[in-house]
Amino acid sequence: MKFFIAAVISLLLPLPLLAKPDPAPAKPRTVRVLVNPRTIQNLPDFPLASLKMSLSPKLYKSLCVSNVDAWIVALIPPHGGEPKIVHSEAGGVFDKIALSMAKGWSPVGYNTTESRISSPSLKVHLLIYKIVNGLMAVNFSNNDEAFHAGIQRSDVWVGLWSNGKWTTIGGTKVIRQSPDPYR
């Protein structure tokens, strides 16, 4: 009897060693999803209402869910002069483009009887989005000073940098010459 039990145990022990081991579980596929994407809706002090009034609803909705890669703001002095950068992201890579585009804007519709002490300055915003085809840029102006409170409409330029040149894909503003974003 002891011999029989020893024979059965000796036969059963090597069976798991001969069995094919279970394949390792497949490595889960990782998908990169931004937990808190940086969109125009969560940029601090961003003139969202002005942009919403100036864009088509379809384009505005797509911009609201897209991740902003850079946001640059240039300030245009009230009586001419060179614009200057007041907010810059992406290490200054797109500052030249923002300054070039800001030169195409000027404050209009300001009545000097409202205030003879100060004149309005204008902020020109440039949003940069990295997309599959290249870069997409959105350029518009806004004045957030007190006497411009309320609904503001602005021309907007939406362009695509692809194959070494800018192509206008939307908006109402005409930009004649835009610099190369990589110079």
| Count of the separate structural domains present in the chain | 1
Tell me if 180 is assigned to some domain. no
Partners of 72 in the beta sheet?
126
* pTM, two decimal places: 0.70
Domain that holds residue 69: 49-108+118-171
Model pLDDT, residue 133: 82
pLDDT of 14 higher than 60: no
pLDDT digits (tens, 9 = 90+) for 143-179: 766 455 555 667 888 888 888 888 888 776 655 455 5
pLDDT digits (tens, 9 = 90+) for 120-129: 678 899 999 9
pLDDT of 116 higher than 70: no
Tell me if 164 is assigned to some domain. yes
Tell me if 182 is assigned to some domain. no
> Worst-scoring range by mean pLDDT, 25-29, 32-36, 53-57?
32-36
Q: What string of H, E and C letters represents the secondary structure of the chain?
A: CHHHHHHHHHHHCHHHHHCCCCCCCCCCCCCCCCCCCCCHHHCCCCCHHHHHHHCCHHHHHHHHHCCCCEEEEEEECCCCCCCEEEECCHHHCCHHHHHHHHCCCCCCCCCCCCCCCCCCCEEEEEEEEEECCEEEEEEEEECCCHHHCCCCCCCEEEEEEECCEEEEEEECCCCCCCCCCCC
Model pLDDT, residue 88: 92
Please report which confidence band the pLDDT of residue 84 belongs to, taking 50, 70 and 90 as the band edges.
very high
Tell me if 68 is assigned to some domain. yes
Tell me if 153 is assigned to some domain. yes
Tell me if 92 is assigned to some domain. yes
Tell me if 38 is assigned to some domain. no
Tell me if 87 is assigned to some domain. yes
The tokens for 92 are 């200054």
Contact 161, 181 (CB under 8 A): yes
